[in-house]
Each structure stands twice: as structure tokens, then as C-alpha cells.
Amino acid sequence: MTVVTADAYEAAFDAAVAADERIEPRDWMPEAYRASLVRQMAQHAHSEIIGMQPEANWITRAPSLRRKAILMAKVQDEAGHGLYLYSAAETLGTGRDELLDKLHTGRQKYSSIFNYPTLTWADVGAIGWLVDGAAITNQVPLCRCSYGPYARAMVRICKEESFHQRQGYELLLTLSRGTPEQHAMAQDAVDRWWWPSLMMFGPPDDASAHSAQSMAWKIKRHSNDELRQRFVDICVPQAQSLGLTLPDPDLRWNEERGHHDFGAIDWAEFQDVLKGNGPCNEQRINQRRRAHEEGAWVRDAAAAYADKHQAALHTESVEATA
């Protein structure tokens, strides 16, 4: 009889990661790898469903039926992304109810960007262009993440996100080329969303708690600062085409580096919002909790109905075979 030791499992896991093979749900994996993935996927799923709120804020006020349809479809996609991601997390043995409970009790986080308010219609465009743009920059490398179900979910999500990003850009372009009031509305939104979008890549590399281990496990492929720089370089020419200004006097092309230099990010603000002091932290989590609590009777009824009818089906099949 061959005894497979824990060391042998670990060696097989390490070899698979080194060879860029996918780890699948039934494969052995280190507990810390599992925990790290659950944390990251849950945070991602939570961000999708909390992220519905600032945009849903404008569904009932969308200024044309075409824009209303686009926005509703986008918010619906986000609910769909939440579903894929909770399902992907479930393959690691943690169910949606448990993860939602952690969200509702503040034990798991969602992206801090959604703690900023959507004050005008142009914010819908700025979120599409900048926030979805930053998310895509972060997420495209996740399509090659070492954990199979997460990587596959991300392929689908990234396709939809890039569609949203183009829609946001097009919305801003329409405003920028519209009336002076519309142009000002677009500029104001970009002024407010630019810096928080840069913060979406997380703290600088030397201050990032989970980065090194995630890189070694190939959950993460590029550092926070690398991705942030890539995003800035993409946005600068796009802002020019939009006819809008990015609110950073230090933003300029650096010939030597082959990248744009940009100003210092206010990490004190980032930490403050993360701690719960952003403009909408309480509002977002309260709405989520309220929806969950007010929906409890619906979920209970569905479960009760399913139980009753499963029992009935069981009785029928027993009678049929008797």
C-alpha cells in the first residue's frame, strides 16, 4: 500500500502552480491558499452587489430610454457577476449565505470605491469609464489566475466589464460634446472619480498585506503599482479624446520611464474610507442589510415550499415503487 504523504500533495500543488496549470476544486491545496482565494473572491462578489447601488441610484432618473435600458442591463450584469463569483467561491466549500453574513456583519469587505456617492448623471459615465476601466485592468490578469473556477468566471466577467467601460466612455463623450452644462457635469464627475479610481489598485506595493504570497501562488500576476501605472497610461489619451481634464497638475509624460508620472495619492483618505468613514459606507451596508432582512420571509417561503414538495415527490416515488 502506498501512503501519500502531505509533503507529496504539497509538492504536486507547487509543481502545478509552477507549470501554470489550473488548480481545480477537488485538487489538494494548502489551507492558506484556499482561505486567501475565498477572501478575495468573496470581496469581489460583495463589490459586485454593493456596486449595484450607486448606479441603481440613477435608473429611475436616466434621461433617455436608451440610456435607461443600458443602465438597467449593466446593473443586472453586476448581479449576474455576483452570482458567478459566489458560485465560484462555493467550489471551495464556503456558501453564499455564510459570505453574505460576513458582509452584513462587516467581517468581509467590498471595494471602497462604492463608498463614494453618485451625485449627477455624469457619475454613471465616470463609473463606467474609470471604475470599470480600473476593474478591468485589475481583473484581466485574473483570467490566468491559478484557481480554475475563478479564472473561468473572470473570462466572462471581463468581457461584460469591457462593454460597460465603452458604454461609460460613450456616455461621457456625449455629455462632453453636449451643452455647456452637460460638459461641466462630465468634468465634475471625472474630477471626483479620478483619485478614488487610482486607489482601487490598493496600497503601494511596499504596504500591501497580501500581495507577495498571492503573487507566489499566481492568484495575482502583477503588483498594485504596476497595474495602477498601466491604468494611468491608458486613461491619459482617452481623457484627451473625451475633451476632459484629469485633475492632477503633476500628470505628465516621462520620456525616460516611458510612462506618465502622476501626483501623490492621498492614502490617508483611502485608509479613512476603508475604516468606514467614507461618505456612503453606512448607507451602502444598511441598504444591503435591509434588502436581506426584508427579503427573509420570501427566502423562507421558497425553502418551505421546496421542502413540502420534495417530501410530496418522495412519497409519490415511494408509492410508485411499492
Partner 1 sequence: MTATPTTHATAPTTSATAADPAVNATAALALGDDALVLSHRLGEWAGHAPVLEEEVALANIALDLLGQARVLLSLVGDEDELAFLREERSFRNLQLVEQPNGDFACTIARQFYFSVHQHLLYRQLAAGDGPFAGLAGKAVKEVAYHQDHAEHWIVRLGDGTAESHERMQRACDALWRFTGEMFQPVDGLEVDPMALEALWLERVTEVLERATLTVPSGARTGAWAAGAGRQGLHTESFGRMLAEMQHLHRSHPGASW
* Beta-bridge partners for 147: 23
If one asks whether residue 315 binds partner 1 (CB under 8 A), the answer comes out as: no
Q: Which of 3, 209, 268, 298 binds partner 1 (CB under 8 A)?
A: 298
Nearest alpha carbon to residue 192 among 136, 146, 125? 125
Is residue 129 within 8 A of residue 140, CB to CB? The reply is no
Binding-site residue total for partner 1 (CB under 8 A)? 47
Query: Closest CB to partner 1 among 220 and 288?
Result: 288
Is residue 125 within 8 A of residue 172, CB to CB? The reply is yes
Binding to partner 1 (CB under 8 A) within 112-131 occurs at: 121
If one asks whether residue 238 binds partner 1 (CB under 8 A), the answer comes out as: no
Q: Which of 25, 61, 266, 317 binds partner 1 (CB under 8 A)?
A: 61
CB 282 to partner 1: min, Å = 15
Binding to partner 1 (CB under 8 A) within 161-190 occurs at: 174, 178-179, 181-182
CB 164 to partner 1: min, Å = 14
Is residue 112 within 8 A of residue 278, CB to CB? The reply is yes
If one asks whether residue 212 binds partner 1 (CB under 8 A), the answer comes out as: no
If one asks whether residue 300 binds partner 1 (CB under 8 A), the answer comes out as: yes
Round to whole Å and give the CA distance between 153 and 158.
Answer: 9
* Neighbour count for residue 298 (Cβ, 10 Å): 9
Distances (CA, A) of 35 to 12, 29, 38, 111, 210: 19, 10, 5, 19, 12
Q: Which of 29, 37, 42, 82 binds partner 1 (CB under 8 A)?
A: 82
The CA-CA-CA angle for residues 286, 275, 108, to 5°, reads 60
Where on the chain is the footprint of partner 1 (CB under 8 A)? 49, 52-53, 56, 59-69, 72-73, 75-76, 79-80, 82-83, 86, 96, 121, 174, 178-179, 181-182, 287, 290-292, 294-302, 304-305, 308
